[in-house]
Amino acid sequence: MATSDDTTPARNWHKATYTTERGACVEVSEGPVTGIRDSKNRDLGALFFPADEWAAFVRAARGERL
C-alpha cells in the first residue's frame, strides 16, 4: 500500500539507475519503507511502499519470475 505521507521515515535518497540528463529523474530511498520521488519536484512529496512491495515491483519491472 503506497502512501504520500512525508512523515514516513526515509533517508539516503539516490537517483534511480535509469535516470537520464534529459528528464525522467526519479530518486529512491530504500530501506524497511522505500520512498520514491521526482527529483525535479521534491516539494510534491513522495510515495512510500513497504520494502517487500517495492522488491516485487522491481522484479516485475525487470521481467523476473517469482
Confidence (pTM): 0.66
Give me the mean pLDDT over the 33-48 stretch.
88
The terminus-to-terminus CA distance of the chain in angstroms comes to: 20
Residue carrying the nine cell digits 523476473:
64
Per-residue pLDDT of 1-38, as tens digits, reads 555 555 445 468 888 776 666 666 888 888 888 999 98
The domain limits of the chain are: 14-62
Looking at the chain, which runs of residues are DSSP E strands?
14-15, 26-29, 33-38, 47-50
